[in-house]
Amino acid sequence: MKEFARWMVSIDRRIIFLLIALATLLPLLHPFGLPIKVSPEVRGVYDYIESLPEGSVFLLSLDFDPSSKPELEPQAIALLRHAFRKQLRVIGMTHWLPGTGLADSIFSKVATEMKRESGKDYVFLGWSPGTGSLVISMGQDLYKAFPSDYAKKPTLGMPVLEGVRNLRDVTYLISLAAGNPGIEMWYVFGKDKYRFEMGGGSTGVMAPGLYPFLRSGQINGLIGGLQGAAEYETLIGQKGTAVAGMDAQSADHFVIIALVLLCNVFYFVLRGDKGRLA
């Protein structure tokens, strides 16, 4: 038994890699489609957007780069679909320079799908340097911060921005963040001074760190990781890549749990052989 335990503890890591690969691939090829439960955190964002009147100004800041695409792109797509369906005026931007092209493609893709027009129904402002100072600049005068949009069209006079002078005229802002600059930065430099309502979305790793902001009401909802995106897709009734990916994530979690439990069983079997443990 001890020999087997010793062999298992020092198992070739490529076997673990293979198990994870299978746990990811098989559910993607043969999904088992379990129901998605919606958390109050995600419902907070959905309910607030649902309560907004037509024509309200919704700013979506896609603060991530391609490395977080699998988790945050489905969140962005679901939020945009919801906002466009509710006939909100959408302003898009990013604080992450490497994510600008990705953010632009997300906006273009969903706008085409929902038959929305750039400049009239939405505008993608792109990226500008400064992070915190950019937010202050937008809070003072949006047109000085972004004289033109990502497609180099002048922002002043755009129908989508009618009546919008600065961040005080934004009804709701959501930052989908993979780190800093992101939700905290938007709160500190933006919401605290310019008084708009704010929600957040983040990668699964970051989400637990944002719960104090949620509990204190500094953000009114939080979409966490792929699970959060799947919950939002369920709420809007339009399933996408997040719901499809949750089966793979379920299987991966179970493989990791099984590995951790096995490792502990072998650890207890070998507890006496301290010097011989790997």
- 101 makes contact with other proteins (CB under 8 A): yes
- 278 makes contact with other proteins (CB under 8 A): yes
**Span 231-250, contacts to other proteins by CB under 8 A:** 246-247, 249-250
- 20 makes contact with other proteins (CB under 8 A): yes
- 261 makes contact with other proteins (CB under 8 A): yes
Considering only 6, 44, 48, 70, the residue that binds other proteins (CB under 8 A) is 70
Q: Measured from the CB atom, is 88 or 110 closer to other proteins?
A: 110
Residue in the structure block whose two tokens are 């989908």? 176
Considering only 215, 237, 272, 274, the residue that binds other proteins (CB under 8 A) is 215
Q: What is the DSSP string of the chain?
A: -HHHHHHHHT--HHHHHHHHHHHHHHHHHS---PPPPPPHHHHHHHHHHHHSPTT-EEEEEEE--GGGHHHHHHHHHHHHHHHHHTT-EEEEEES-GGGHHHHHHHHHHHHHHTT--BTTTEEEEEE-TTTHHHHHHHHH-HHHH-SB-TTS-BSTT-GGGTT--SGGG-SEEEEEESSSSSHHHHIIIIIHHH--EEEEEE-TTTGGGGHHHHHTTSSS-EEEHHHHHHHHHHHHT---HHHHHHHHHHHHHHHHHHHHHHHHHHHHHTTT-GGG--
Considering only 57, 61, 65, 186, the residue that binds other proteins (CB under 8 A) is 65
Q: Measured from the CB atom, is 68 or 220 closer to other proteins?
A: 68
Min dist. Cβ of residue 101 to other proteins (A): 5
State the burial class of residue 142 (Cβ atoms within 10 Å of its Cβ: 0-12, 13-18, 19+): buried
Candidates 35-43, 86-94, 153-161, 169-177: pick the segment binding other proteins (CB under 8 A). Answer: 35-43
- Quick one: tokens of 140? 């003072």
- 51 makes contact with other proteins (CB under 8 A): no
Candidates 5-13, 44-52, 85-93, 154-162: pick the segment binding other proteins (CB under 8 A). Answer: 5-13
- 220 makes contact with other proteins (CB under 8 A): no
- 202 makes contact with other proteins (CB under 8 A): no
Which positions lie near other proteins, rule CB under 8 A? 9, 11, 13, 16-17, 19-21, 24, 34-37, 39-40, 65-70, 97-98, 101-102, 104-105, 128-131, 133-134, 136-137, 140-141, 144-145, 193, 204, 208-209, 211-212, 214-215, 225, 227, 246-247, 249-257, 259-264, 267, 278
